Structure 1
């Protein structure tokens, strides 16, 4: 019985050491030896953003939506330039270009484009193409469309995040070569 009590006492001490927060490795103090890198740094992109000027409900009736395109610079210390924001309709035709000149976004800055609820030119398959560039590699901005509408006591809202379809590459880096023309190929 004494041996068993000593054994249990040893097990309890071991459990207390493991569960004691002061004995856990690491602490909450910032480490001065860590160096933080930007996540997936890039110098520019073309981003496809799905949007909806309306969705269908009931017997196929359109429910009109206001679209807010939001471009958010996630860099902590660098600005980016939004160089193009183009709006396309369901058939893939450009409806409107929103920028006459580039918009500079400071670190953590945001710009928005609003498509009014009554503007149905985009259709249910509307989309934006957003191009942006930076002077040096930065973290990717968050680019998304938020659709919203309210009617009486009902409301609808949802968001769609953009997808990168092109990445800007510095000329000093090895960029993929465009495919050779058929006339240049040797068969």
Structure 2
């Protein structure tokens, strides 16, 4: 349902006077507090390190001789109706350590828009992921900052020979009375030092 803003001229037309002005103030306060902005939601959200503390371990003392990067398309917004409309989706990026025995160091999880500009970084410092553990980064449906060309880059490293991480994005949303979910798999864009 689309709401119509009440203006001062409406008050004059209705000849309600002071009570209408009070209604304007109350309506304004309700609208201002009704839904937090995407920026407020991000600021209030716990960090990845806090949320996935049980998946993390101490950084390895050994040199990190193997490293790489994974690129993941993330369709947080999709153009529809010959480009005249847009459907927005939530995105859950999952980073899985595919090694059974070694920790995987995640150096960066960065979210980019369609112009290649970084929109958000999900890590303040590198973290080590336990063997077979997973961490996730989440983009809510209302966060449309990255547009239709959104993508993630995950930089990782490990000591010696280690399995490359499995990185995927799950998009989930509702449009035109239908529910949609689809997965985008990461693609390695750089690997160095593999034995």
TM-score bin, normalised by smaller chain? 0.5 to 0.7
Distance 1:84 1:131 in 2: 5
How has the CA–CA distance of structure 1 residues 76 and 66 changed in structure 2, closer, same or farther, with 3 Å as cutoff? Answer: same
TM-score between both structures, scaled by the size of structure 2: 0.62
SS in 2 for 1:136: coil
Aligned-residue offset at 1:98:
1.0
Distance 1:78 1:119 in 2: 35
Distance 1:66 1:103 in 2: 24
Indicate if the aligned counterparts of 1:72 and 1:108 stay in contact, CA closer than 8 A: yes
- Where do 5+ consecutive residues of structure 1 fail to align? 1-41, 174-187
* Counterpart in the other structure of 2:69: 46
Distance 2:176 2:127 in 1: 37
Aligned-residue offset at 1:104:
1.4
Q: Compute the RMSD of aligned alpha carbons.
A: 1.8
Correspondence list, 1:102-141, <5 A: 102-141=126-165
Q: Which runs of structure 1 show a deviation greater than 6 angstroms over 4 or more consecutive aligned residues?
A: none
Q: Deviations over 1:124-161 (max 9, x none)?
A: 11111110111221111101111111358411111111
Aligned-residue offset at 1:67:
0.6
* Counterpart in the other structure of 1:16: none
SS in 1 for 2:147: coil
Correspondence list, 1:72-83, <5 A: 72-83=96-107
SS in 2 for 1:99: coil
Structure with the higher fraction of residues in helix conformation: 2
Q: Which moved more, 1:56-65 or 1:88-97?
A: 56-65
- Where do 5+ consecutive residues of structure 2 fail to align? 1-64
* Counterpart in the other structure of 2:80: 57
Structure showing greater Rg: 1
TM-score between both structures, scaled by the size of structure 1: 0.65
Aligned-residue offset at 1:44:
1.8
Aligned-residue offset at 1:54:
1.0
Q: Deviations over 1:82-113 (max 9, x none)?
A: 11011110111111111001121111000000
Aligned-residue offset at 1:78:
0.8
